[in-house]
Amino acid sequence: MQQSIPESLKISPFMAAFVVVSMQIGIGVLGFQRIISKDAGYDAWMSVIGAGLAVHIIVWMMYKICEGVDGDVMAANIFVFGKTIGNSINTLFIIYFTMTCLTLLSGLIEVIRTWMFLSMHPIFFASVYLLLGIYIVNGGFRTVVGISLFGIVVPAYLLFSFLAPIRYGDFTNLLPIFDHTPVQMLKGAYNMTLTYLGYGVLLFIYPFIKKPKESKKWVHIGLTATMIFYTLLAVITFAYFPISLLQKSIWATLEMWKIVKLPFIERFEYLGLANWALIILPNVAISLWVASRVAKRVYHISQRKAVLFIAAVVLICVLMLDSRERINIFHDLQAKAGFILAFIYTPFLYILLLIKKKVNAK
Amino acid sequence: MVRDMSIFFRRRRRQKEQDDKEQKKQPSSKGNAEKDKDKNKDDEKANKHAEEWEKELSKSTDYQKKDYINRKTGKKFIFTFIPTLVEEKVLDNNALPPLLEEEFLKIIDVKKLLPIADVEVSSDTKKIAQKLLDGYVLLTLEEDTREFAFFSAKKTVVRSVTSPEIEFSVIGPKEAFVESIGDNLNMVRTRLPVKELIIEEYTVGKLSRTKVAVIYIDGITNKEIINTVKQRIDDIVKDEIADSSYFTQLIADNGNSPFPQLLDSERPDRVASSLAEGKVAIIVDGSPHALIGPTSLTEFFNAFEDYFLNWILATFIRMIRLFAVVFSIMITPLYVAVVTHHYELIPKDLLVTLVASRRVVPFPPVLEALFLEVTIELLREAGARLPTKVGQTIGIVGGIVIGTASVEAGLTSNVLLIFIALSALASFTTPVYQMSNTIRLLRFPFLFMAEIWGILGMTIAFSFLIAHLLRLTSLGLPYMEPVFPLRLHDFKDALFRLPFSSQSKRPTFLRTGDSSRFSKDKAKKKKDIDE
């Protein structure tokens, strides 16, 4: 259905999990606690688990879609909807992943400007960061995957820093359990799904995985790891903050880092923030790669040019997102689009694919 | 001498003209005549060619042609050679006595007479010039100049084998490569006396005509790697090759990278052991360094001495070395980042020490750091360019006098001086010289990024570095192996050096023909208590 990928460019099934997980851990980690506890209060940690399980189901569907056409989602779209409509939907993906890249970059710049360099002009940082992204994408998919690995492994030491707030935490904050209505919990879960977003790349990297069947195991293990990480982080945060204070903390994770004390480092959040630039990097690189790859497949242009063009668009848009309000509006928009793609479009496509296969078989 | 040669050829031409006339007189069958015509044409061409080389060579003063007379037959024979390339002893002791004393009529008899292994009889004049330049002596008989003989009397100027200087080891073999390719190949072959060891020779460079040997073990080394190497060598267009380091640059996967993509070594033992792992070695004539590929980043931080030590010690030393590299690159930028942007990052007590040491320094931290870094680089460069004994003095003068004086003058803080001296020291722990040069360079981009955005800038610089390393390949194989692609098996000899008993498999990334080095079960067999 599509040109096959040379074996030497494919990645091992194990690595697929790193791509998915690194895409899932983004700017959201720094401040998801406030958003999920808005509706579900301190019962939100259950929403985190619930949303995590829902993600497993969606990823299972994504695998089914890709297996069904033995290719990526673009092939599935064309198979189900025909060439014209299929490619129109694929074009939407370019826009979505450009938006993702923009969200991450503007989010990162906002955190940096809030916490580190008040007077930093976004244009320099965004240009350098996008150049870095282009450089990685130009290295090919393997380089992108390599950055995903480093983006998880190198900053992994930050996990230990979350142990520090436990000492000061009051875990009775979480009691009583089941204090909220199921609707509130569901709302919390809905908000959590936005933080989980990113596993959608699976639909695009599927043809690049060496033994896709084997990768299922690893990807699901990865998703579980993310779920455990988010749940623990939520629980620690809830124990650390009284609920009224948490509602005022936009970057709860960063604020928690303030309590970390080491003999040679006073303000740990600086280190964490600097490392966050490395954690966001795979996200930016992967979304640039996906957007440019879709552009290449749909419009038959060279991927090098597509990357440059998309990066230029992102750069211009970053400059326009210059206030907290605009960023908020944009992030909400992007999150909604992500939710629709994951929880409405994916099942819809899956069902249509099944029907189409049945019809074709007859 | 010049005249001699021209006479020789004039005579040759005359002889041919006579032959032509005879042929015209007696026309043989048609086919034969045509053949003869072709032959004549070839002869003419060859003659022309011969005259050309003669003209060129005779411009040099080191070109000789000498006549001798055989005592028995009274016939004249001529030696043509380039004395600067020829060992006179071979002429005096081996070649002349039999030729002067024994009877010989035809050039073919020379083969029997000469006690020299490399004797060749030929009538191809095109070969002459090259053979003479390779140190051969041309032997012709006065009567019949159509056929002639060559024998080798090459004089090679080589130094004797010395101990390794760059990859010195306290224990282990003390043999290092020399400039002669023959001696180097000998050192490798004696270490791996198996018939599967294949040596393929190439000649590269229009002017230098450098001999290059590609060595691998048949059945172990991946064919694709060998082909890549051969292909790249064939593609070289440079006219002159002075050293194997030219090769590193010419056949590298990415020529625009500061990172060396082939490992160079002056130790025959290291080359032999790499070959046994399934790698390819390249030995270039005139270079005391062999190249080993494909290689990976971690290999540049492994000294060969690691294998002579117990694995626990070796692993410990490797860890120290890796720490030293990170320290060497990061410490000065970190100082600049902290002092310029994030003084809140460090605890108060430490900050007090830092501020106190910087109180009188009038420059921003980045200039202060650059000043010291450049000083260190100058010292290092001066030390490398000067003769050894003067170099030591420069080191002392620079290190002690300039350092102390600049602190006393208030140009730099003494804390930074400690950091810079330590980082210079740490950068010397890298066992491969080429890599330690790269590390020298890497510090500067980090320094600039630290000045702009503090530790955030350092993260960006680090990301660029990682992205660059991920893009690099060595002979088509990933440079960051075993970290990416992640191959846990290959960590046994990358960051760690596990005991030999767990090194039973060859590195997976080399995709060797035979992945097993020895039976693992046998190596790991243990006796039960009191048996």
Q: What is the CATH number of the domain that holds A225?
A: 1.20.1740.10
Distance CA B491, CA B483 (A): 8
Please state the separation of Cα B221 from the chain's center in Å. Answer: 20
The residue of A12, A152, A270 whose CB has the most chain B CBs within 10 angstroms, and thus the best one to mutate to test that interface, is A270
Has residue B20 got a pLDDT over 60? no
Residue A356 CA to residue A352 CA, distance in Å, equals 6
Predicted pLDDT of residue B28:
45
Query: In angstroms, rounded to a whole number, what is the distance separating the alpha carbons of residues A319 and A341?
Result: 27
Chain B residue with minimum CA distance to A135: B467
Residues 6+ apart with CB under 8 A from B224: B476, B511
Any CB–CB contact under 8 A between B462 and chain A?
yes
Q: CA of B507 to nearest chain A CA: how many angstroms apart?
A: 17
Q: In terms of pLDDT, which residue wins out, B297 or B393?
A: B297
Q: What's the confidence (pLDDT) of residue B525?
A: 67
- Would you give the distance in Å from CA B173 to the centre of its chain? 20
A147/B345 touch (CB, cutoff 8 Å), yes or no: no
For A285-312, the pLDDT digits (tens) are 999 999 999 999 999 999 999 999 999 9
Q: Name every chain A residue with its beta carbon within 8 A of the beta carbon of B341.
A: 116-117
> Chain B residues with CB inside 8 Å of A139's CB?
467, 470-471
Q: Which of B456, B462, B472, B486 to mutate to test the interface with A (most CBs of A within 10 A)?
A: B456
pLDDT at position B3 is 47
User: Is A40 inside any structural domain?
Assistant: yes
Contacts of residue A13, Cβ cutoff 8 Å, sequence gap at least 6: A209, A210, A211, A212, A214, A215, A217, A218
Q: Provide the pLDDT for residue B1.
A: 44
pLDDT average, residue stretch B218-239: 91
Query: In chain B, which among 104-133 make CB contacts under 8 A with chain A?
Result: none
Chain B environment of A146 (Cβ under 8 Å): 466, 470, 480, 484
pLDDT at residue A1, as a whole number = 41
pLDDT for B13 equals 52
Measured between alpha carbons, how far is A319 from A80 in angstroms, rounded to an integer?
38
Tokens found for residue B218: 């048949």
At B77 the three-state DSSP class reads: strand
Q: What is the pLDDT of residues B315-339, one digit of tens each?
A: 999 999 999 999 999 999 999 999 9
Asked if B266 contacts B177 with a C-beta cutoff of 8 angstroms, the reply is: yes
Entry pTM: 0.87
* B498 DSSP 8-state letter: -
Q: How many residues does chain A have?
A: 362
Q: Which residues contact B470 (CB under 8 A, 6 or more apart)?
A: A136, A139, A142, A143, A146, A147, A150, B478, B479, B480, B484
Q: Which of B528, B68, B496, B24 is nearest to B307 (CA)?
A: B496
**Residue of chain A whose Cα is closest to the Cα of B351:** A264
Q: Which amino acid is at B290?
A: A
**B166 pLDDT above the threshold of 80:** yes
How far is the C-alpha of B262 from the C-alpha of B274, rounded, in Å? Answer: 12
Residue A110 C-alpha, separation from nearest chain B C-alpha, in angstroms: 14
Q: How far is B476 from chain A (nearest CA, A)?
A: 10
CB contact at 8 A, B239 and B207: yes
CA distance B262 to chain A (A): 20
- Alpha-carbon span B44 to B49, nearest angstrom: 8
Is B464 part of the contact surface with chain A (CB cutoff 8 Å)? yes
Sign, CA dihedral A168-A172-A177-A181, equals: negative
CB B459 to CB A275 under 8 A? yes
How many Å apart are CA A96 and CA B263, to the nearest integer?
Answer: 45
B149 contacts B107 by C-beta, under 8 angstroms: yes
In this structure, are residues A193 and A187 in contact, taking their beta carbons and an 8 Å threshold?
A: no
pLDDT band (50, 70, 90) for residue B513: confident
Cα–Cα–Cα angle for B288, B294, B295, rounded to 5 degrees = 80
- Closest residue by Cα to residue A338 from A226, A191, A220, A206: A191
Distances (CA, A) of B402 to B376, B407, B412: 10, 9, 11
Average confidence (pLDDT) over B485-493: 84
Handedness of CA B45, B51, B55, B58 (dihedral sign): positive
Q: Which residue has the tokens 């970190």?
A: B334
Q: Answer whether A193's CB lies under 8 Å from A339's CB.
A: yes
Q: What is the structure's pLDDT at A148?
A: 94
- Residue A5 inside a domain? The answer is no
What is the arithmetic mean of pLDDT over B25-48?
A: 55
What is the spatial distance between Cα B223 and Cα B513, in angstroms, rounded to a whole number?
8
The answer to whether position A356 is within a domain reads no
B294 touching chain A per CB within 8 A: no
**Is B243 exposed, middle or buried (CB count within 10 Å of its CB: 0-12, 13-18, 19+)?**
middle
For residue B464, the chain A residues in CB contact (below 8 A) are 132, 135
CB contact under 8 Å between A143 and B467, yes or no, is yes
Range B331-354 average pLDDT = 89
What tokens were used for B370?
């650059």
**CB nearest A266 (choices: B347, B462, B480):** B347
CA angle, A361 then A294 then A56, to 5°: 65
Give me the pLDDT at residue B101, please: 84
Cis before B485 (ω within 30): yes
Chain A residues in contact with B350 by the CB 8 A cut-off are 264
How big, in percent rounded to 5, are the helix, strand and coil portions of chain B? 55, 10, 35
For residue A360, being part of any structural domain is answered with: no
| A343 inside domain | yes
b/e code B64-80 from CB counts within 10 Å (16+ = b):
ebeeeebeeeeeebbbb
- The pLDDT of residue B48: 64
Pairing of strands B76-81, B263-265: unpaired
Give the amino acid at A89: I
Full domain range(s) for residue A302: 12-350
pLDDT value at residue B30: 47
- Neighbouring C-beta atoms of residue A298, cutoff 10 Å: 20
pLDDT, chain B, mean: 84
Place of tokens 């790891």: A225
Alpha helices in chain A (DSSP H): 13-24, 32-40, 44-69, 73-81, 83-115, 122-138, 141-153, 158-161, 164-168, 182-196, 202-205, 212-240, 243-246, 252-257, 268-299, 303-320, 324-339, 346-361
Domain assignment present for A358: no
Q: What are phi and psi of B364, to 5 degrees?
A: -65, 155
CB contact under 8 A, A267 and B466: no
- Residue B248's H or E segment, with its range, is helix B244-250
Q: Where are the domains of chain B?
A: 2-152, 181-295, 307-478, 488-523
Q: What is the pLDDT of residues B452-483, one digit of tens each?
A: 999 999 999 999 999 999 999 999 899 998 88
pLDDT in tens for each of the 362 residues of chain A? 456 788 888 899 999 999 999 999 988 888 888 988 888 888 888 899 999 999 999 999 999 999 988 888 888 999 899 889 999 999 999 999 999 999 999 999 999 998 888 888 889 999 999 999 999 999 999 999 999 999 999 999 999 988 888 888 888 888 888 888 888 888 888 888 888 888 989 999 999 998 889 999 999 999 999 999 999 999 999 999 988 888 888 889 988 988 888 888 888 888 888 999 999 999 999 999 999 999 999 999 999 999 999 999 999 999 888 888 888 899 889 989 999 999 999 999 999 999 998 888 87
Q: CB of B301 within 8 A of CB of B322? A: yes
B-chain residues within 8 Å CB-CB of A270? 342, 344-345, 455
Q: How many domains does chain A have?
A: 1
* pLDDT tens per residue, range B63-112: 888 888 888 888 888 888 888 888 888 888 888 888 888 887 788 888 88
pLDDT at residue B15 is higher than 60: no
How far is C-alpha A94 from the geometric centre of its chain's CA atoms? 16
- Per cent of chain B over pLDDT 70 is 89
* pLDDT at B25 (0 to 100): 47
Q: What is the mean pLDDT of residues B358-368?
A: 90
Closest CA to A2 of A56, A76, A59, A57: A76
Residues with Cβ < 8 Å from A254, sequence gap 6 or more? A30, A31, A111, A115, A269, A272, A273
Residues in chain A whose Cβ is within 8 Å of chain B:
11-12, 14-15, 112, 116-117, 120, 125, 128-129, 132, 135-136, 138-140, 142-143, 145-147, 149-150, 263-267, 270-271, 273-275, 277-278, 281
The partner residues of B474 in beta bridges, in order of sequence, read B477
Spatial contact of A141 and A63, defined as CB atoms under 8 Å apart: no
DSSP string, B479-490: TTTTTTTT-GGG
Residue B36: pLDDT band (50, 70, 90) is low
Residue B467 has its nearest CB partner, among A11, A135, A275, at A135
Q: How close, in Å, is residue B318 to chain A by CA atoms?
A: 20
What's the rounded Cα separation, in Å, for the pair A88 and B401? 72
What's the pLDDT band for B524 if we cut at 50, 70, 90? Answer: low
Q: Are A264 and A270 in contact (CB under 8 A)?
A: no
Side chain identity, residue B86: V
Residue A138 inside a domain? The answer is yes
Torsion sign over Cα B77, B81, B87, B88 = positive
Locate A41 and state its tokens.
């209060």
3-state class (DSSP) for residue A249: coil
Instruction: Write out residues 318-347 of B within 8 Å (CB-CB) of A.
Output: 341-342, 344-347
Residues of chain B in contact with residue A138, where contact means CB-CB under 8 angstroms, are: 471
Length of chain B measured in residues: 531
Kindly state whether residue A355 falls inside one of the protein's structural domains: no
